[in-house]
Amino acid sequence: MSFEKYLELKRLVDIYDDLVDIRIRIENRLRAFPGETRAIYPEQLEKIETAVREEIMQLVQEVPIWKAFLSKWRGLGPCLAGALIAAIMVRFVERPPQNELELQWALKTKGGATLVPELRGIVAFDNPSKLHAFCGLDVRDGKAPKRQRGKPIDWNPKMRVLAWKIGEQFVKQGGYYRKVYEEARAVYDARPDLQKGKGAKAHRHAMARRKMVKQFLTDLWIAWRQLEGLSIVSPYVIDKLHHKHYRAPPALGDRGETPKSSRQRTKNHQRNASQLGVETHIGRASRLAFETHTGHASQQVSETHIGRASQSQCGTYP
């Protein structure tokens, strides 16, 4: 796909994200109004969202990595995948425009500097750890990177938000990466040092989700580099942590897997974890999340936390 189409994809997912944000704000403000008034503006915005989403889907279909890898996973739709692709493929650098295309897409900062787009791609990330760091998922002195007053950041805050959205979708939709999450969650649930304190359960959830997303980004990095004929290096867990092997994802993905099989795997996980004396903390909300697209339960999941669920339809990106 041409560089200009990647720029168009970036523009469309940006517009879609803004539309979702505006619709959610309007819905929240109209809750105090009568029902017939409450439905007017959101319905109009939803039509625009649908049109933009269809355009995103058409462009994403032209990207090789979508067909080769991203389209295979439940919970990762064209909007999230499009945002991820655009963020990796396009970057903006500070310099004068050198051609008409750069002049057309150039941005101005608050300080008056000119930023022009450049084609980056997966070739810019020599190993999976650099992709993790770009998303703000690396570990520095035992902690995740944070903003510090007066210091520039070398990671992308919007990519961290996108990683969070992808992780939440994988947890809700089930499938292969849900299994990765559950395995990590069982380990963290068994650690005594993570059982006490306010928010301990949420902290364990965030740790397991983070590990799952990093596994997904590693799998994406390997698949994308192989697709473009680039060199592959061992992941950090093997090269530095000396794990014995790297577990590759199923080649055919998990979109063909039925919700029933996902639920059954979760029950098996709970049974195995119970035998080990591990509390998995998978309650009613998690069971409903596995019943996606199966009637009223799906509506309960989608109608819970409207803001978060709607925002997770499309990732944010730089």
Window from 34-38, 106-110, 220-224 with minimum mean pLDDT = 34-38
Please give the model's pTM, rounded to 2 decimal places: 0.76
**Cα angle vertex 292, ends 290, 298, to 5°?**
115
Q: What is residue 178's DSSP assignment?
A: H
Across the range 217-225, mean pLDDT stands at 95
Encoding tokens for residue 37? 């008034």
Backbone angles phi, psi at 91, to 5 degrees: -135, 160
Could you give the CA distance from residue 106 to residue 97 in angstroms, rounded to a whole number?
7
pLDDT surpasses 90 at 13: yes
Question: For position 33, what pLDDT does the model report?
Answer: 74
| 17-29 confidence digits (pLDDT tens) | 999 999 888 888 8
For the cut 70, the answer to whether the pLDDT of residue 292 exceeds it is no
Burial of 109 (0-12, 13-18, 19+ CB in 10 A): exposed
Spacing of C-alpha 238 from chain mean position: 24
Position 14, amino acid:
D
**What pLDDT sits at residue 121?**
94
For residue 165, list its beta bridge partners.
none
pLDDT given for residue 143 in this prediction: 83
Q: In whole angstroms, give the CA distance from residue 35 to residue 38.
A: 5
Res 304: pLDDT: 37
- pLDDT by residue (tens digit) across 38-91? 666 677 888 999 999 999 999 999 999 999 999 999 999 999 999 999 999 999
What single DSSP character describes residue 113? -
Q: Is 230 left (phi over 0), alpha (psi -120 to 50) or beta?
A: beta
Please write the tens of the pLDDT for every residue from 123-179. Answer: 999 999 999 999 999 888 888 888 888 888 888 988 999 999 999 999 999 899 999
How far apart, in whole angstroms, are the C-alpha atoms of residue 137 and residue 144? Answer: 7
* pLDDT of the residue at 281: 39
Q: Which residues contact 304 (CB under 8 A, 6 or more apart)?
A: 285
Q: Residue 89 and residue 75: Cα distance in Å, rounded? A: 22
Query: Which percentage of the chain shows pLDDT scores above 90?
Result: 53
Q: Are strands 107-108 and 90-94 parallel, antiparallel or unpaired?
A: unpaired
Q: Is the pLDDT of residue 108 over 60?
A: yes
pLDDT at 267 over 70: no
Domain-wise residue ranges, the chain: 3-311
Count Cβ atoms within 10 A of the Cβ of residue 73 and give its class: 0-12 exposed, 13-18 middle, 19 or more buried.
Answer: buried
- Assess whether pLDDT exceeds 70 at residue 243: no
Residue 221 has pLDDT above 70, yes or no: yes
Average pLDDT over residues 257-270: 52
Residue 283 has what pLDDT? 39
